[in-house]
């Protein structure tokens, strides 16, 4: 009996130590300085307020890859920085040249965003970096074995389906734009996912069918396939826990529509 008591006490002590370590790690993340994430937030803010961002873009272009890589030392920091850069760049570019959106394929493939000394495309930011080197047209099922050094330096460790509800490519059906902050990234991605899915999904219990965004279909591998999609819908209260409806993917409206922003409560003070 005494041995069992000692084992339980050791287990509890170990658990408390783990919790303390996690809290310290989280606190360290909240206290860490992210100067270039702050610049990426300014890129979005200036787009929202239709202000010039040339000085911000110059600073993002001039930072060394080594310095930026050292700052973006977690997937949360990477996602915050690169989602802000993607959204802010799309808005700034298309506000000046909306005609570029007429050939969307060329627009996203074009090398036009300079970060850390390299001019890269929006496709590279989304699929190569934020999605962890996923091949664009293969449903999130296949990774790119030929990713270059720049992409390998900055890419996330794995694809996170929630990012698809945070990236705005300029189309009417795109998710709304928020400003992301590294220490609150998980909470913010949960919040934006809930916002988007509850706004765009329709559950029909009588038909056992749920109508959802085409993003689920195009990037199904990032969500774990159809069963993973249903898990997402359950997590964000689109369908009940016990439901197993068929999925109906809605048409995507590619009409150019800029200026769609939203606020997030998670990390609200830090996001300003």
**Structure confidence at residue 244 (pLDDT):** 96
- Is residue 70 pLDDT above 60, yes or no? yes
**Structure confidence at residue 30 (pLDDT):** 59
Domain edges within the chain: 34-194+252-271
Alpha helices by DSSP H, the chain:
2-31, 35-48, 54-62, 65-71, 75-96, 104-109, 122-123, 149-154, 185-200, 215-218, 225-235, 268-271
Choose between 29 and 116: higher pLDDT.
Answer: 116
Per-residue model confidence as pLDDT tens digits over 85-135 = 999 999 999 999 999 999 999 999 999 999 999 999 999 999 999 999 999
Share of the chain above pLDDT 70, in %: 87
Q: What is the mean pLDDT of the chain?
A: 91
| Nearest residue to 125 via CA among 141, 105, 110, 138 | 110
Q: How confident is the model at residue 2 (pLDDT cuts 50, 70, 90)?
A: low
**Structure confidence at residue 268 (pLDDT):** 72
Question: What whole-number distance in Å separates Cα of residue 96 and Cα of residue 223?
Answer: 34
**Structure confidence at residue 267 (pLDDT):** 74
For the chain, first and last CA: distance in Å? 56
Q: How do strand 209-212 and strand 202-204 relate by DSSP bridges?
A: antiparallel
Q: How confident is the model at residue 266 (pLDDT cuts 50, 70, 90)?
A: confident
């Amino acid at each position: 009996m005494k041995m069992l008591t000692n084992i339980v006490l050791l287990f509890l002590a170990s658990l408390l130590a783990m919790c303390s370590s996690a809290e310290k790690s989280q606190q360290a993340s909240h206290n860490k300085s992210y100067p270039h994430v702050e610049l990426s937030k300014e890129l979005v803010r200036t787009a929202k307020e239709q202000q010039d961002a040339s000085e911000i873009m110059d600073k993002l272009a001039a930072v060394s890859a080594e310095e930026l890589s050292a700052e973006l030392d977690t997937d949360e920091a990477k996602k915050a920085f690169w989602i802000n850069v993607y959204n802010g760049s799309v808005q700034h570019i298309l506000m000046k040249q909306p005609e570029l959106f007429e050939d969307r394929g060329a627009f996203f493939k074009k090398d036009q965003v300079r970060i850390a000394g390299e001019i890269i495309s929006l496709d590279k930011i989304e699929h190569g970096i934020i999605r962890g080197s996923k091949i664009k047209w293969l449903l999130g099922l296949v990774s790119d074995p030929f990713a270059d050094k720049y992409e390998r330096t900055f890419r996330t460790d794995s694809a996170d389906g929630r990012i698809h509800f945070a990236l705005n490519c300029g189309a009417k059906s795109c998710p709304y734009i928020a400003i992301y902050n590294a220490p609150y990234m998980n909470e913010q991605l949960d919040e934006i996912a809930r916002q988007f899915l509850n706004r765009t999904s329709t559950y029909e219990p009588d038909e056992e069918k749920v109508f959802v965004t085409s993003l689920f279909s195009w990037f199904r591998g990032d969500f774990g396939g159809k069963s993973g999609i249903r898990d997402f819908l359950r997590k964000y209260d689109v369908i009940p826990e016990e439901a197993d409806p068929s999925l109906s993917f809605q048409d995507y409206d590619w009409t150019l529509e800029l200026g769609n922003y939203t606020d997030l409560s998670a990390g609200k003070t830090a996001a300003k």
